[in-house]
Amino acid sequence: MTDDVLIIAGGLYLSVLIVILFKNIMYWEMKYFVLALMAAAVMIACKTVKKKMGNTNEELLADLKSFSNTLYPVSVKGKWGYLNNKMEIVIPAQFHKAEDFNEGFAVVTMQEDITDTNGSRKEYQGYIDTTGKIVIGCRYDKASSFSEGLAWVERKGKHGFVNKSGNELIPLTYEEASSFSEGLAVVKLNGKNGFIDATGDMVIPPKFERACWVSDFSEGLSSVYTSYPMAREDTSIRPVR
């Protein structure tokens, strides 16, 4: 079926349903007339939406072409690669997952060839450059986008930071970590959140609550929680009356 046929069929079906709803208050001889009017109205509306969507797609393609050096993840037959602003695949689809580029690097995911007892395959993450070359091997359980030249990574539940050369400049010793912002990154140690600088020094001691991702710096400030009741089970909490 063509799109037009589907639109007409959908309009007729919707009109029939509407007429049935009003069958107790309309004369039979009027129903077919109203049915035709409703079908025509639905078809016109669908045509208008379709035309607007077509224009939106054209505008989107124009926007994509305006970013000359941008690469976009794309799925091809279950694998992920990257295409450029000309809609050309420049990095072949070879990854299990692929994320956006940031600071010249993108996180990609590879799967092991061997399945476990549950029939699933272990996934590992690493980084590629804009040529598609794997510059930091897929050896981490989780990896984040680069920010200020560093990216947090996780292996066996421990977090640390790597630079663009793949060196683990800040060892994987933390329970959680967040991306650097304005020179600082929040990390969790012994259940508390503190802030480290790019050398790994703890400049704000770990004494805050809640997950790390809420504590990025912006204009010199960061949100923190000195207490967060929902972070622990506490049956003594009662609603305020």
From first to last of the 241 residues of the chain, give the pLDDT tens digit: 555 555 555 655 666 556 565 555 455 455 555 556 666 666 666 565 555 555 555 665 565 555 556 899 999 999 999 999 989 999 999 999 999 999 999 999 999 877 777 778 899 999 999 999 999 999 999 999 999 999 999 999 999 999 999 999 999 999 999 999 999 999 999 999 999 999 999 999 999 887 666 677 788 877 777 776 554 433 333 333 3
Residue length of the chain: 241
Among 107, 101, 98, CA closest to 85: 101
List the beta bridge partners of residue 160. 153
Q: Report H helices in 28-160.
A: 28-65
Count CB-CB contacts under 10 A for residue 231.
12
Cβ atoms of 209 and 231 within 8 Å: the answer is yes
Q: Domain residue spans in the chain?
A: 3-65, 144-231
Q: Which amino acid is at 95?
A: F
The model's pLDDT over 139-173, given as tens digits with 9 standing for 90+, comes to: 999 999 999 999 999 999 999 999 999 999 999 99
What would the pLDDT profile of 9-41 be if each residue is shown by its tens digit? Answer: 565 566 655 656 555 545 545 555 555 666 666
CB of 126 closer than 8 Å to CB of 110: yes
